[in-house]
Chain A
């Protein structure tokens, strides 16, 4: 990162090669379609590039990267919501076919449950489980405190546990 700040092209290539896959997974796991995730990744890299002077070598790089990625995602989400609020349906669309997960243990079923979590709780779960960050790193990336991150994680766990319990009751 320090070499990148010094305009070393090989450092930039290495950084893009190493950081892009986890960033793409982060965007992909955040309820966006895959093409949007690639657009978000490009937007995020442009923001990282413009903000590269704010990184300090004494600090870990991942919370810094994910703080920028988080704002990229939130800005895109707000932009989409604004556009959707202005859209007018000219005809009633057919109801999409609902695919009910066979078992709550399937990752797809869990993904469905995670998608239904409140935004702030889902974000913490994605950072902890997909990006593999520690509580301290998530707190830094979300401009929050470790206590607040723990609280959100516990609430998310409680919601998921309840939902999975209900699924099991329905299945039996």
Chain B
């Protein structure tokens, strides 16, 4: 930590304080106790793959599940979209998959390097989805907004909830520390995965419908995930 000249006195005092903490020593009794506890359950373990491998694992699961679901659903939405809409939505959903896979891989290994802060990254994914839909799709609605919309939201939940469980099962191989960020990343990844087949199938390719019933449900899922992670952190229940 480089200090400016006006911090020199404070820096000196902090160094003195830091050095004064070194006087405290561990009692041999405690050390023997710790060694005894750990030695009794000492077995060889296989180290977790690198963060890059974990990231690609999550991305592969995300891509495989999305491709599999797209293959089995009806392709009405796919045929209704223009090339620009199709390419942009594919890019936004793939970007979300990459982002959330990266965040989950970070959270699996304690002390991992984080290259960008979590909250702006989540906000960016939200702006990507909402902005993309607002700019690319027509602003018109048919008469039956709710009856046409809720089956889409239900389908998204039916795909996203089991997907979130699968991602959690994969993630819990690491040393997970419960947090709002981890909860949001798990459900976010699942929501983006569910959006891919939904977009392919949906016959209502209009901005209000997509914003409310597709993206809105994804936001709710991410919020619920963040809340679950935060409650788990507050009440001391680890995610594993």
Contact = CB atoms under 8 A, between A and B. Distances in A.
Contacts, number: 151
B30 to A, nearest CB: 5
Interface in A91-113: 105, 107, 110-111
Interface stretch (B12-20, B65-73, B157-165, B196-204): B12-20
B34 A41 contact: yes
A51 B39 contact: no
B34 A45 contact: yes
Contact of B175 (A50, A105, A140): A50
Interface in B171-198: 174-175, 177
The A contact surface, by secondary structure, is helix
A68 B50 contact: no
Chain B interface size, under 10 / 10 to 19 / 20 to 34 / 35 or more: 35 or more
Given A20-B26, A68-B175, A125-B14, 12 more contacts: A9-B39, A12-B38, A42-B37, A45-B37, A51-B110, A54-B48, A54-B109, A57-B47, A82-B236, A128-B1, A135-B1, A153-B1
Interface of B: 1, 3, 6-7, 9-10, 13-18, 20-22, 24-27, 30-31, 33-35, 37-39, 41-48, 50, 106-117, 174-175, 177, 233-236
A132 interface: yes
Contact of A12 (B1, B26, B42, B109): B42
Contact of A105 (B13, B27, B107, B114): B13
Contact of B26 (A6, A9, A21, A53): A21
Give the most central of B3, B35, B50: most A CB within 10 Å: B35
Interface in A121-145: 125, 128-130, 132, 135-136, 139-141, 143-145
Interface in A27-42: 28-29, 34, 38, 41-42
Given A5-B45, A41-B26, A54-B108, A130 B115 contact: no
Interface string A52-92: 11111111000111111001000100110010000000000
27 contacts: A5-B44, A5-B45, A12-B38, A20-B26, A20-B34, A29-B21, A38-B27, A42-B30, A42-B37, A46-B38, A49-B37, A51-B175, A53-B45, A54-B108, A64-B111, A78-B233, A78-B236, A82-B236, A107-B17, A110-B13, A110-B14, A128-B1, A129-B15, A140-B112, A144-B117, A145-B117, A157-B7
